[in-house]
Chain A
């Protein structure tokens, strides 16, 4: 009986357990109630279906969630991811220009400059947090507010539409029958995973998140770790911005990445990374992002007005946050122990 309890305990404590259960529930619900949700078709050598749709649409969110995981693990938060995506979308479309089939700037340069801008945004956030010692929430709030203004200035307040097909490949192209966005997400995830799990950087990030001053005293350069986390987060948001603008073939400074910071935070929290920093799970965050996207897709599939999605999401956030909260954990542990005693 004890072995069973400890097995249950181990499973319950695995950071991927709850997001997987939730994802399974949503998928099970779809299996029963949404017709054709699991049907995959091959059209023109591309894979089509709701599942592929979830993966493709969820790509920007997954990227942001991966980036945000690093920041939240250092006990910070980045509210500016949506605004950074908007700035990058504006920069990218501005560089491509709106002439049919012609780009004003070579495509590799477009990508390099756009990601450079994203890194600049990250440096700004990171320096404010690590060097000026401003609370992360407030420091990134500044870019969240000013960022949309900056994006507006870049686009001159217009919606920039692009007509250069190669640029569309990032958001709407296919590679080996699968959406190209998936390969971008996989590459970023692999990069983040290797850096954090195969070098000491992951450990440093966790130690800074757990206790910044004690990591400083044990020789970890906590300021630079924080700086790198914010730069990485903005970098991911920048890629998301490129994907979004390439997917809709335009950039609208007002709407690119709007409210996505909230979705991204939710994805990270669902993934088991605590807002108070410390241990983090990249895979959990990706699962969290997938969960949010599949809930959204499911709600749409039912013809529910998109507005209700916000209400549902808010209740999901609340439920998840309460589940992870300290008093709840104590109560759950007590419950588990009582069961053990009875057995």
Chain B
């Protein structure tokens, strides 16, 4: 019977996945052509950049922090890439590493300030967001179209799958990032330390874990992810503009939350975030198929959905607290799954 029982720690994840399946089924029943495989692949193609940056954000939130700069970093990356490609005529082999390095550097600086000056992450990354957004406009106030042959070739390249469906190279990049993130989160010492810091930073420090290094690395990793998302986005849009991805940080945070990661840190899964992004994409697609609804409903629905999931989180955490207390009263063995560090090890 034990095999049939689902571990409680997977419960939020299951809610997310069921919601995704439910929405998808709703779409197929309700609208003609929704069931076509290309609709699903388009979800991946259109949300590739959001997937990458949300995966990075998952690590930050797991460590108990937050990063509001991702949208601005993506916009900066598109503008800077477009500027270097078009105005300076540099080769993509120089441009891509340079913009990735910029993202890494900004992330590292923000992480270092957050850790060493003990400033709240949200205010430091807010400053980072202003900075990156401002730098976009310092480079160029207008949109720059990218006509670089390499970028165009990558953007137009279709990887055919079964039937007539296809995916873009961006989707392949997402899959690589996802595999790397899963490995990093669940199979490395770094991943376990991230979970431990999110669970309780003080305890992590007392356990002798490298808190400083890990915290800075988490923001650096997220900087890298947003810059990579920026590269993917500039390939997707074939242009660079400082007003791109306005408010994307909120979409990324919403994806992570809908994916079942606790905003207080320490609990959650990278794979949940993927479903969080896909759910947002599905809502957008459904509203598109519906045709008569104002696209602003997407924002309202996602806002409410985020709220519902935060509510669910408080319910779950309250439940696990009472169960823990009950277990302690009964003087039985400690409940392993309530402890994020132990949970991460399993």
A-side residues, CB < 8 A to B, are 77, 128, 132-135, 137-139, 141-146, 148-150, 152-153, 157, 262, 265, 269, 275-276, 305, 307-315, 317-318, 321-322, 325-328
Contacts and interface: CB of A to CB of B under 8 A. Distances in A.
Interface residues of B, number: 45
Contact of A325 (B66, B118, B263): B118
A262 B72 CA distance: 14
Contact of A318 (B124, B137, B141, B257): B124
Nearest to B254: A145
B107 to A, nearest CB: 15
B127 A321 contact: yes
Shortest beta-carbon contacts, A-B, top 10: A307-B137, A310-B134, A146-B303, A311-B134, A314-B130, A149-B299, A314-B131, A149-B296, A325-B117, A317-B127
Given A146-B304, A307-B141, A153 B296 contact: yes
Interface string B273-315: 0000000000000000000001011111011101100110010
B294 A137 contact: no
Given A262-B130, A269-B123, A132 B299 contact: no
Interface in B134-184: 134-138, 141
Interface of B: 66, 113, 116-120, 122-124, 126-131, 133-138, 141, 242, 247, 250, 253-254, 257, 263-264, 294, 296-300, 302-304, 306-307, 310-311, 314
A311 B138 contact: yes
A20 to B, nearest CB: 22
A317 B122 CA distance: 12
Q: Is the interface of A mostly helix, strand, loop or mixed?
A: helix
Q: Is the interface of B mostly helix, strand, loop or mixed?
A: helix
Nearest to A323: B117
A146 B304 CA distance: 8
Nearest to A317: B127
- Most chain-B Cβ atoms within 10 A of its Cβ — which of A132, A138, A144? A138
Given A318-B113, A326-B118, A310 B127 contact: no
A275 B303 contact: no
A308 B123 contact: no
B297 A149 contact: yes
A322 B119 contact: yes
Contacts of B124: 318, 321
A80 to B, nearest CB: 11
A142 B306 contact: yes
A145 B302 contact: yes
Given A138-B310, A141-B250, A276-B120, 4 more contacts: A308-B134, A310-B133, A314-B134, A321-B123
26 contacts: A134-B311, A134-B314, A143-B303, A145-B247, A145-B306, A148-B299, A149-B298, A149-B299, A152-B296, A157-B294, A276-B120, A305-B137, A307-B141, A307-B242, A308-B134, A308-B137, A311-B135, A314-B131, A315-B127, A317-B123, A317-B127, A321-B119, A325-B118, A325-B119, A326-B117, A327-B117
A274 to B, nearest CB: 10
